[in-house]
Chains A and B, each alone.
Chain A
Amino acid sequence: MNSRHTEIILPEGEIQKELKKKSRRGFLLGGLAAVGAFGAYKAVRLSSPDNDVPWPQRRVLEFNAKLAEGYLNDAHLTRTYSPSEIGYLKANGEYGLDEEDDDGNPPEWEGLQLETSSAPAVTLQLADIQSLPRHEMITKFCCIEGWSVVQKWTGVRFSDFTKKFLPAGASLTDYVYMATDGEDYFVGLDMKSAMHPQTILAWEQNDKPLTYEHGAPVRLVIPVKYGIKNIKRIGLIRYTNQRPNDYWYQRGYDWFAGL
């Protein structure tokens, strides 16, 4: 036996007394610790919410995001797949997509508005975007719900888009904000994730033009983020140094939502 495994040898009457003393002390301390821990947990859970998450928990989520963002790297590429592994992607979430008319035609897309702090806003058409080098990739689309499916996407790298359309002389901002027309759905992105080589503005899915429900005419595909950040039918892109708001962030999800 280890020397720390002390033994207390006493006469029968004494030993019962000693045992009672130790029990009283042990269970009292244990009980207090349990009550304290439960109280601390309740205090956290009842703290004022920061975007639908008790603020102490939100702080930890932001800390986690900082770690993840620090580790994020252009060299950390998501795995790519072969065409035979492409699966079926259900159209999950129609936030920001308006009703089609009686003939099934979607409302008209009014171009992509590009906003920076240094120049007046410009409106881009699909052809402007398509003038950039074409990029194809077969990657996994991961929904925050837990499912995932392999899809082929065709578009242009967002980094190429930024190089071309960010006004000359303007420095790269910390964040980018993207929204559907009317801003019913909107996402905020850190620039590192947005400029990742596998982040693309896509207009084709599995070699066919995007359907309306999947975000025609142009959507974001960003495999370093959960599906919620892969905004459909982009109507507005804004470069900003203030961390933009985000639809699901407001509803209790992590702002960063990185994979």
Chain B
Amino acid sequence: MAKLVLKHLLAIRWFHWVNFPILFLMIWSGLLIYWAFPVYHLGPIELFPQWLFALLGLKFHLADGMALHFVFMWIFIANGILYVSYTLVSGEWRYLVPTSFSAFRDAWLVVLHDLHLHKDLPAQEKYNAAQQIAYTGIIVMGFGSLVTGLAIYKPVQLTWLTTLLGGYEFARLIHFALTMGYIGFFVVHIGQVILAGWNNFRSMVIGYELVKDGERS
């Protein structure tokens, strides 16, 4: 006997797939803005150096970048608020939010397991501890992008916020660092989705996962 188990609720699937292209567009337009003043380094390495955008023919796209960023931000914000509200109201947050400090130890064991350095996986419900930390962390990061974005978008009208976030330059740096965080998240996420296989990916589209006899749902 096998069974189909509803893994991802319809609303959650919509929030996820709406967020994917919008976040991509926010990152892309953000880079068009960043390239008007690309100053961040990682040690000696220039992040998104001038020659790269010259190569891509993207010099002087600041106006277009702003016109995209400040339009699509509304969808990004609305989708984020709806997602968080929905997980709270539906109770889905219980699976997503780590509830004890042991989550960090468990997450570490998950990482070791995924790197084939540890044999057993800790007990889990719908999501393992590493997933819980990642999926909760990404929401905190989204909120961080919103507030640091506001701080550099309206630094005079929202002086209190800009000051609270360490000033105009620092808020811009955090806003940028969070974007790098999304790219890092994306790389790991895609890797894990590939490793988890088709059944798992399909459940993010159709909602249901096929569970064979004796498997954990």
Bound: A253/B34 CA distance, A: 16
In the complex, what residue of chain B is closest to A44 when comparing beta carbons? B71
Known: A27-B205, A61-B71. A4 touches B6 (CB 8 A): yes
Whether the pair B205, A26 counts as a contact (CB closer than 8 A) is: yes
Chain A residue with Cβ nearest B202 = A23
B202 and A61 contacting across the interface, CB-CB below 8 Å: no
For A58, the closest partner residue in chain B by CB is B67
Interface: B66 (CB within 8 A): yes
Are A254 and B208 in contact, CB atoms less than 8 angstroms apart? no
A53 in the interface, Cβ–Cβ < 8 Å? yes
Interchain CA distance A245-B181 in the complex, whole Å: 40
In the complex, are the beta carbons of B68 and A15 less than 8 A apart?
no
Q: Are B157 and A258 in contact (CB under 8 A)?
A: yes
Docked-complex contact A7 and B205, CB < 8 angstroms: no
A102 → chain B closest CB, angstroms: 32
- B21 proximity list for chain A (CB < 8 A): 37, 41
The distance from the CB of A187 to the nearest CB of chain B, in whole angstroms, is: 16
- A206-231: CB near B (< 8 Å → 1, else 0) gives 00000000000000000110000000
Instruction: Give A148 to B162 CA distance when docked, in angstroms.
Output: 14
Chain B residue at smallest Cβ distance from A18: B4
Would you give the 0/1 interface string for A128-157, flagging 1 where the beta carbon is closer than 8 Å to chain B? 000000000000101111111000000000
B156 touches which one: A19, A53, A76 (CB < 8 A)?
A76
B63 lies within 8 A of A52 (CB): yes
Name the interface residues of A55-102: CB closer than 8 Å to any CB of B: 56-58, 60-61, 64, 68, 71-73, 76-79
Least distance between B196 CB and chain A CB atoms (Å): 17
Assembly CA distance A33 to B16 (angstroms): 13
Also in contact, A140 and B168, with CB within 8 A (given A53-B63, A76-B156, A76-B159): yes
Whole-angstrom CA separation of A15 from B91 in the bound complex: 29
Contacts of B71 in A (CB 8 A): 56-57, 60-61
- The answer to the question of B154 belonging to the interface, with a C-beta cut-off of 8 Å to chain A, is yes
Q: Does B2 contact A (CB under 8 A)?
A: yes
CB-defined interface of B80-101 with A at 8 Å, one 1/0 digit per residue? 0000000000111000000000
**CB of B206 within 8 A of chain A?**
yes
Contacts of B7 in A (CB 8 A): 5
Q: In the complex, which of the residues B1, B39, B66, B159 contacts A253, with contact meaning CB atoms closer than 8 Å? A: B66
Given contacts A5-B6, A142-B168, A223 and B156 within 8 Å (CB-CB): yes
A53–B67 Cα distance when bound, in Å, is 7
User: Looking at the complex, which one of B34, B157, B217 makes contact with A259 (CB distance below 8 Å)?
Assistant: B157
A164: interface (CB < 8 Å): no
Give chain B residues whose Cβ lies under 8 Å from the Cβ of A171.
none
A105 located at the interface, meaning its Cβ lies under 8 Å from any Cβ of chain B in the complex: no
B3 interfacial contact with A, CB 8 Å: yes
- Tell which of A1, A26, A252 touches B206, judged by Cβ atoms closer than 8 Å: A26
Q: List 30 A-B contacts (CB under 8 A).
A: A4-B6, A5-B7, A6-B6, A7-B3, A7-B217, A8-B5, A10-B2, A12-B1, A12-B2, A15-B3, A23-B205, A30-B17, A30-B205, A41-B21, A56-B71, A57-B67, A57-B68, A60-B74, A68-B157, A71-B157, A73-B157, A76-B157, A78-B156, A140-B168, A146-B34, A146-B172, A147-B39, A253-B66, A258-B154, A259-B155
The 4 closest A-B pairs by CB, nearest first: A26-B206, A146-B37, A252-B63, A145-B36
